[in-house]
Chain A
Amino acid sequence: GENVEQHPSTLSVQEGDSAVIKCTYSDSASNYFPWYKQELGKRPQLIIDIRSNVGEKKDQRIAVTLNKTAKHFSLHITETQPEDSAVYFCAASRQGGSYIPTFGRGTSLIVHP
């Protein structure tokens, strides 16, 4: 089955700095890579996703890049703000009803004012 490794487990930055979270996956057939943000005490919510037919996707201050050859994908947050403080999860999945998403263990991002 799929295995997703996520690093780092904790990331501390100053407000205004950039933050990068990386994930690697094992199943070369995986073709959908979402990122979820979970604020303290809240539910995970999708912030951005990428499919294997593109290499990069941006949405304002966040971007995701995908390297299919190396089987890794990354979340980039620029100009971090205190409200970006949360746990971020990556996931990987492939098409097909019997295939279920595999999540990374999460990265706790702390943005210091």
Chain B
Amino acid sequence: NAGVTQTPKFQVLKTGQSMTLQCAQDMNHNSMYWYRQDPGMGLRLIYYSASEGTTDKGEVPNGYNVSRLNKREFSLRLESAAPSQTSVYFCASTKAASTDTQYFGPGTRLTVL
């Protein structure tokens, strides 16, 4: 039981390049989330998927898109990376409701030059 996995672990991009961050969970969870973590800013929600087939914007969605590929997988895409998107990205999942424990992936450290 791997829990929540993310790929890649590290990535360096040039301004304007695109990339997709992958996330998968094997806990049969319904809800999945993407956060970014910056120093002193805590965890800020980018997008979430309450259930398979649905996605919604979080606090900081600009510059990102998501796809809930199936119940297990939730990807985050940067279409045209900017230096302001340099951050650590965490994927998380919960069994069902917003009042369940969040299980986080190991994170992706992204640097945009």
Interface residues on chain B, number (Cβ under 8 Å) = 23
- A34, B107: Cβ atoms under 8 Å? no
Residue numbers in B under 8 Å from A96 (CB-CB) = 97-98
Q: Which residue of B lies closest to A46 (CB)?
A: B101
Taking CB atoms, residues of chain B closer than 8 Å to A51 are 99
- CB < 8 Å neighbour of B98 from A43, A44, A93, A105: A93
Count residues of chain A with CB under 8 A from any CB of chain B: 28
Contact of B50 among A34, A98, A103 (CB under 8 A): A98
- A residues near B40, Cβ cutoff 8 Å: 9, 105-106
Instruction: Tell me whether A94 and B98 are in contact in the complex, defined as CB-CB below 8 angstroms, given that A44-B90, A45-B104, A100-B48 are known contacts.
Output: yes
> Is A103 in contact with B107, judged by CB distance below 8 angstroms?
no
Which residues of B approach A to under 8 Å, CB–CB? 31, 33, 40-45, 48, 50-51, 56, 58, 90, 97-99, 101-102, 104-107
A-B pairs, top 6 by smallest CB distance, nearest first, are A32-B99, A105-B42, A43-B104, A97-B50, A93-B98, A103-B43
